């Protein structure tokens, strides 16, 4: 049974960054004249953005390729959330240097948050780079590529107050044909002191709900059975006809204010067989209305990613998170009261933030004991240029101390993940089959409503099918069972 284990329940910094790279796994052969290759780094929003980029360039004469040696254009869709992510991109650019020597006409571009943060400086520092485009400039890519074709460098890092790409149907690049992401909003208005996102993705703006529903409907008709609604902070989603009067008059569409709870219900009502997930929630913004909406609909998954970042109130204030330790714990209690103890809760944690004492680090560990997360993304603090913390706070915790504290957090989360998974042994779970197990062709895998991976014998079951699985064994990251009934 050991060869079936696929522990994904705990991701520390090294493991998470190792799995952040995603390249196109789907080749298009529609006879287009040029080939596009994209690698995406970082969050799910970046992967979703790469699908938008592919759609825009598909209309401009590009097919996509998974073979970098066949590419005419290479794009790196980048992340700036940690220094390590940017270093990875720079190493990839060094590799492309050899490709470009053999193929001088090869166009290399950097997209996304790193492009937005460094702007023209990136063209100077990495001479191999021909094109730089920020997250709101993807519609301009055909023009930028033409500019490079004419022998010039090209750049557009303009941040928009309106761009949501609502009218663009994404090309599903790495799709299993069962699950898909739907971007519902862009940007972030929360100024967490450690975070570069407000500076690289701009102000918050919500997408027209009708376009979201149309995309979800289309995905269901094409055989997809799960959608994840994406946003930097989905709970602050809000769309109103007054603020979007021109669009509403043209479409004669929804004539009411739509908040996230409303949108969640609208998507859930498309079909009972369409599962709905969402990410990410900000603890200060998730409402009881959202929780009650989740409770009403079986097909809204009972799982919430609720980043805490620290278990100490003083550190949370320095991080500008907008809540205290006690407030966060009350929110977790509310989730468990409305949705039950079985609701899956995961988190992000940063250790070694500016001036964090040993006692304050212990507060994070005791909060973990109280909540008992199903899994978590855990990192030591990495100061990012341009953030409020970089400008106002001193990064005064040694790297050795940061790593030691991170090890303690990771160790505790491993034990909690295993304890939480043990509670599922002997129980029956509804599972949406997403693919073949990564460890054995004789087994399939899927997730239950709480986002836990379940592995079971293949038999005659098909990808995209719902099955009922009795779990009889577990590890810290995976449930193992057999289909029953």
CATH number at residue 259: 3.80.30.20
Residues 412 and 442 in one domain: no
Give the chain's count of helices (H) and strands (E): 16, 23
Q: What is the mean pLDDT of residues 305-327?
A: 98
Residues 389 and 471 in one domain: no
Q: Would the pLDDT of 225 be above 70?
A: yes
Residues 397 and 459 in one domain: no
Residues 326 and 443 in one domain: no
CA distance 38 to 47: 10
Task: Establish if 409 belongs to a structural domain.
Answer: yes
Q: What is the mean pLDDT of residues 450-468?
A: 97
CA distance 162 to 166: 10
Task: Establish if 172 belongs to a structural domain.
Answer: no
Q: Would the pLDDT of 160 be above 70?
A: yes
Q: What is the mean pLDDT of residues 380-397?
A: 95
CA distance 61 to 32: 5
Q: What is the mean pLDDT of residues 238-267?
A: 75
Residues 237 and 287 in one domain: yes
249: pLDDT confidence band, cut at 50, 70 and 90? very low
Q: Would the pLDDT of 130 be above 90?
A: yes
- Where do we find the tokens 């967490």? 192
Q: What is the mean pLDDT of residues 95-123?
A: 93
**Residue of 175 and 334 predicted with greater confidence:** 334
pLDDT attached to residue 244: 57
What is the pLDDT of the chain when averaged over all its residues? 91
Task: Establish if 168 belongs to a structural domain.
Answer: no
Domain around 121: 2-156
Residues 416 and 433 in one domain: no
Q: Global pTM?
A: 0.90
Start-to-end Cα distance in the chain: 23
Residues 292 and 275 in one domain: yes
pLDDT attached to residue 254: 67
Task: Establish if 102 belongs to a structural domain.
Answer: yes
**Distance from CA of residue 265 to its chain's centroid?**
21
137: pLDDT confidence band, cut at 50, 70 and 90? very high
pLDDT attached to residue 26: 66
3-class DSSP state of 409: helix
pLDDT attached to residue 256: 84
Contact at 8 Å (CB) between 395 and 413?
A: no
């Amino acid at each position: 049974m050991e060869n079936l284990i696929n522990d994904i329940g705990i991701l520390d910094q090294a493991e998470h960054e190792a799995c952040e790279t995603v390249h196109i796994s789907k080749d298009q052969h529609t006879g287009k004249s040029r080939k596009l290759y994209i690698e995406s780094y970082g969050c799910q929003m970046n992967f979703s953005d790469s699908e938008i980029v592919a759609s825009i360039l598909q209309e401009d004469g590009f097919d996509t390729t998974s073979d970098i040696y066949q590419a005419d254009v290479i794009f790196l869709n980048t992340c700036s959330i940690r220094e390590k992510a940017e270093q990875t991109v720079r190493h990839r650019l060094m590799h492309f240097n050899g490709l470009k020597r053999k193929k001088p006409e090869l166009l290399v571009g950097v997209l996304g948050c790193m492009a937005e943060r460094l702007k023209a400086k990136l063209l100077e520092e990495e001479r191999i780079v021909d094109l730089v485009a920020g997250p709101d400039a993807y519609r301009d890519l055909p023009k930028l590529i033409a500019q490079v074709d004419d022998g010039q460098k090209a750049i557009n890092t303009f941040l928009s107050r309106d761009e949501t790409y609502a009218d663009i149907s994404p090309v599903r690049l790495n799709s299993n044909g069962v699950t898909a992401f739907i971007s519902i909003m862009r940007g972030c208005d929360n100024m967490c002191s450690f975070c570069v996102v407000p500076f690289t993705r701009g102000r918050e703006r919500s997408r027209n709900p009708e376009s979201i529903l149309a995309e979800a409907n289309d995905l269901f008709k094409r055989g997809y059975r799960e959608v994840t609604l994406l946003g930097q902070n989905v709970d602050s989603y809000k769309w109103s006809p007054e603020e979007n009067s021109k669009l509403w008059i043209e479409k004669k569409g929804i004539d009411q204010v739509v908040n996230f709870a409303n949108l969640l219900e609208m998507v859930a009502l498309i079909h009972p067989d369409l599962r709905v997930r969402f990410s990410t929630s900000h603890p200060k913004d998730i409402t009881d209305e959202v929780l009650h909406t989740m409770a009403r609909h079986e097909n809204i998954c009972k799982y919430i990613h609720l980043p805490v970042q620290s278990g100490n109130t003083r550190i949370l204030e320095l991080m500008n998170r907008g809540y205290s330790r006690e407030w966060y714990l009350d929110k977790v209690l509310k989730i468990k009261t409305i949705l039950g103890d079985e609701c899956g809760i995961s988190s992000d944690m940063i250790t070694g933030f500016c001036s964090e004492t040993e006692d304050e680090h212990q507060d994070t560990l005791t909060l973990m004991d109280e909540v008992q997360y199903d899994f978590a993304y855990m990192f030591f603090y990495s100061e990012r240029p341009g953030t409020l913390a970089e400008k106002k706070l001193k990064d005064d915790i040694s790297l050795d101390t940061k790593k030691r504290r991170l090890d303690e957090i990771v160790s505790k989360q491993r034990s909690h993940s295993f304890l939480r998974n043990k509670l599922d042994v002997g129980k029956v779970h509804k599972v949406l089959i997403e693919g073949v197990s990564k460890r054995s062709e004789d087994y399939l895998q899927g997730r239950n409503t709480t986002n836990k991976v379940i592995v079971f014998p293949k038999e005659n079951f098909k990808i995209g099918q719902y099955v009922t699985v009795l779990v009889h064994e577990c590890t810290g990251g995976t449930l193992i069972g057999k289909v029953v009934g």
